[in-house]
């Protein structure tokens, strides 16, 4: 008969997040209450709940721990990311340039009970992203669209092999609509860049606000 230790080792190998799998029913109840109460009050270009849930699922399924978000706003997506990281034993760095939004986000993180899982930075991500040392195994991009390609170029070397780069308001249907060059919207150019980056394997989630989900297959 298989020993308990062997069974545990097999479980840990099959479920990447299981090693850190941290049960915290009190925290879960607090976050759930926060999300339920705020469900209809997100008004600062925040992600819809379905996208928050999709990001949460990726982090928990893969067991990611070192996460970066570009574009906090008032913190809806960061709440989902940090909740997932509370399961994997990870932490989120999130960046916002607008002081009012940053302050409201920090209040939300406290109310949701997730403050310890979030390093919230009030900064211009154009400058901070290149300066961060990383590494990150999960990145969520949701800031100024014209800069998406540059954020991707700056962040990709800091993404671990097997890591995941996600971006919001992105769809492959928009890609190339206006052709290359002048007039091409930031996210269109970004989708072209994603598709032409050989070590990134990309899927698109078309429900919600549109998400690209790209996994890094090698260091190149």
Ligand X SMILES: C[S@@+](CC[C@H](N)C(=O)[O-])C[C@H]1O[C@@H](n2cnc3c(N)ncnc32)[C@H](O)[C@@H]1O
Q: Which residues of 138-154 are buried (b: 16+ CB within 10 A; e: fewer)?
A: bbbbbbebebbbbbbeb
Could you say whether residue 210 binds ligand X (CB under 6 A)?
A: no
**Spatial distance between the Cα atoms of 119 and 3, rounded to a whole number of angstroms:** 41
Could you say whether residue 142 binds ligand X (CB under 6 A)?
A: yes
DSSP tag of 44? S
Among 17, 63, 71, 113, indicate the residue that binds ligand X (CB under 6 A): 71
Contact range with ligand X by CB under 6 A, out of 12-20, 56-64, 65-73, 85-93? 65-73
Q: Closest separation between CB of residue 144 and ligand X, Å?
A: 4
Q: Which is nearer to ligand X, 17 or 71 (CB)?
A: 71
Contact 65, 137 (CB under 8 A): yes
Among 17, 27, 34, 47, indicate the residue that binds ligand X (CB under 6 A): 47
Contact range with ligand X by CB under 6 A, out of 26-34, 68-76, 83-91, 108-116? 68-76
Rg over alpha carbons for the chain, rounded to the nearest Å, is 18
Could you say whether residue 46 binds ligand X (CB under 6 A)?
A: yes
Q: Which is nearer to ligand X, 85 or 125 (CB)?
A: 125
DSSP string, 149-216: HHHHHHHGGGEEEEEEEEEES--TTTTTTT-SSTT--HHHHHHHHHHT-TTEEEEEE-STT-EEEEEE
Could you say whether residue 75 binds ligand X (CB under 6 A)?
A: yes
Contact 108, 83 (CB under 8 A): no
What is the per-residue binding string for ligand X in 179-208, x denoting contact by CB under 6 A?
Answer: ------------------------------
Q: Closest separation between CB of residue 6 and ligand X, Å?
A: 43
Q: Closest separation between CB of residue 127 and ligand X, Å?
A: 8
SS3 73: coil
**Spatial distance between the Cα atoms of 161 and 199, rounded to a whole number of angstroms:** 9
Q: Which is nearer to ligand X, 64 or 109 (CB)?
A: 109
Could you say whether residue 45 binds ligand X (CB under 6 A)?
A: yes
Block residue for tokens 């990383």: 134
Could you say whether residue 126 binds ligand X (CB under 6 A)?
A: yes
Q: What residues line the site for ligand X (CB under 6 A)?
A: 45-47, 71-77, 95-98, 101, 124-126, 142-144
């Amino acid at each position: 008969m298989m020993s308990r230790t062997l069974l545990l080792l097999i479980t840990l190998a099959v479920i990447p997040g299981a090693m850190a799998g941290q049960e915290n029913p009190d925290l879960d109840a607090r976050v759930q209450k926060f999300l339920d109460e705020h469900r209809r009050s997100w008004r600062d270009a925040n992600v819809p709940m379905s996208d928050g849930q999709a990001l949460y699922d990726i982090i928990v399924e893969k067991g990611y721990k070192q996460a970066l978000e570009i574009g906090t706003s008032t913190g809806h997506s960061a709440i989902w990311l940090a909740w997932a990281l509370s399961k994997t034993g990870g932490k989120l760095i999130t960046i916002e340039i607008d002081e009012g939004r940053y302050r409201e986000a920090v209040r939300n993180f406290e109310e949701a009970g997730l403050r310890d899982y979030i390093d919230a930075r009030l900064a211009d991500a154009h400058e901070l992203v290149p300066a961060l040392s990383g590494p990150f195994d999960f990145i969520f991009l949701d800031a100024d669209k014209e800069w998406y390609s540059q954020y991707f170029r700056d962040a990709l070397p800091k993404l671990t092999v097997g890591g995941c780069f996600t971006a919001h308001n992105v769809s492959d249907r928009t890609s190339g609509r206006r052709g290359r060059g002048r007039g091409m919207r930031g996210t269109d150019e970004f989708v072209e860049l994603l598709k032409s980056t050989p070590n990134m394997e990309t899927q698109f989630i078309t429900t919600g606000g549109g998400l690209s989900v790209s996994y890094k297959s090698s260091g190149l």
